[in-house]
Amino acid sequence: MNTSDKFFTFHKSNPHVYKNLVAMARQYRQRHGAHSKVGIKMLWEKLRWDYRMSTEHGEFKLNNNYPSYYARLIMQATDDLDGVFELREREVA
């Protein structure tokens, strides 16, 4: 299974990750302006911290290969967050 397939499997099984990233990006934009940009990795690490601090048994894992997929998905699916993340060209394997 390639990374894209793994991402969509993870995304489908963990809708709360998408929901929380969208909420954090909106919170950032509300505080810093409608045209401000934020790093998806900053939000990803904050989410990782929050999950780690709130999970008592086991560790909820956030794969470092997925933030760029979430950035693209969020900007495509939410009009108010279009352009919130800077994107680099993704390598195709």
Q: Is residue 89 part of a domain?
A: no
Place of tokens 């998905």: 73
Residue 27 lies in a domain: yes
Tokens encoding 67: 């933030």
Range of the domain at 70: 3-79
Residue-wise pLDDT tens digits, 62-74? 999 999 999 999 9
* pLDDT, tens digit, 9 for 90 and up, residues 18-50: 999 999 999 999 999 999 999 999 999 999 998
Is residue 55 one of the residues assigned to a domain? Answer: yes
The pTM (predicted TM-score) of the whole model is: 0.88
Instruction: Confirm if 29 and 83 have CB atoms less than 8 A apart.
Output: no
Angle between helices 15-32 and 67-77 (to 10 degrees): 70
Nearest to 40 by CA among 60, 18, 14, 58: 18
First CA to last CA distance, the chain: 12
